[in-house]
């Protein structure tokens, strides 16, 4: 009896292909940052997760919204341990610092419900060379699931548009790591 088209080990090979493709496009670090956001509640546990929301990661800094200033104070004492656990959970040194604010959850939850920010709407106006679009489509086709392929394509194209927008806004490449930054020097804050 012949087995279906699913071969043993195929998901692992596909996962490796996606990881390599994201790394080739320079997006591996961004994916790990998003994973750190998703794993916040798991890493800190239910009690802290109920009092905090992981808002965003920017240049290795995770911004956390807390219910009160008391939670901000308390979590500051546990910052080093939380950073170690987050980095271990995603399998690399992605988070360098945590910033806690007591602004509450309303703004964060509202921003998550709104599908497009003003900047994201402006990204659609940024054009990408046809050769880059074809390369992205070729990478996305490697995914067996059409929904996954579409998400990969959208994520990579959005990242390329964001990089182009940052360059238009005067961001420069770090002379050490090549990441775009808007710091005053030639080296980004992660390399300095």
The two structure tokens encoding residue 142: 């490697």
pLDDT at 1: 46
Place of tokens 């104070």: 73
Helix (H) or strand (E) holding 99: strand 97-101
Report domain 11-114's class.
alpha beta
pLDDT at 22: 63
- The Cα–Cα gap between 186 and 192 comes to 10
pLDDT at 42: 93
| β-strands 97-101, 172-173 pairing | unpaired
Q: Assign 179 to helix, strand or coil.
A: coil
Domain ranges of the chain: 11-114, 116-192
The two structure tokens encoding residue 138: 């070729």
pLDDT tens string, the chain, 192 residues long: the values are: 445 444 555 555 666 666 676 666 666 777 788 888 889 999 999 999 988 988 888 888 999 999 888 999 999 999 999 999 999 998 889 999 999 998 776 666 666 655 444 455 566 677 788 888 888 888 888 777 787 778 788 888 888 888 888 888 788 888 888 888 777 788 877 777
Closest-CA residue to 128 (of 151, 152, 162, 178):
162
């Amino acid at each position: 009896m012949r087995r279906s088209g699913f071969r043993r080990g195929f998901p692992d090979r596909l996962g490796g292909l996606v990881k390599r493709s994201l790394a080739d496009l320079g997006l591996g670090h961004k994916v790990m940052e998003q994973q750190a956001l998703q794993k916040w509640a798991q890493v800190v546990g239910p009690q802290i997760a109920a009092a905090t929301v992981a808002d965003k990661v920017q240049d290795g800094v995770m911004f956390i919204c807390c219910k009160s200033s008391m939670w901000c104070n308390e979590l500051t004492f546990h910052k080093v341990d939380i950073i170690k656990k987050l980095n271990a959970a995603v399998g690399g040194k992605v988070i360098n610092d945590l910033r806690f604010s007591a602004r509450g959850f309303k703004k964060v939850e509202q921003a998550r419900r709104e599908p497009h920010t003003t900047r994201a709407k402006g990204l659609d106006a940024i054009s990408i060379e046809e050769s880059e679009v074809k390369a992205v489509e070729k990478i996305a086709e490697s995914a067996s699931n059409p929904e996954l392929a579409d998400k990969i394509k959208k994520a990579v194209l959005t990242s390329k548009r964001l990089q182009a927008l940052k360059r238009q806004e005067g961001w420069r490449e770090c002379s050490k790591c090549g990441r775009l930054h808007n710091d005053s020097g030639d080296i980004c804050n992660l390399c300095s």
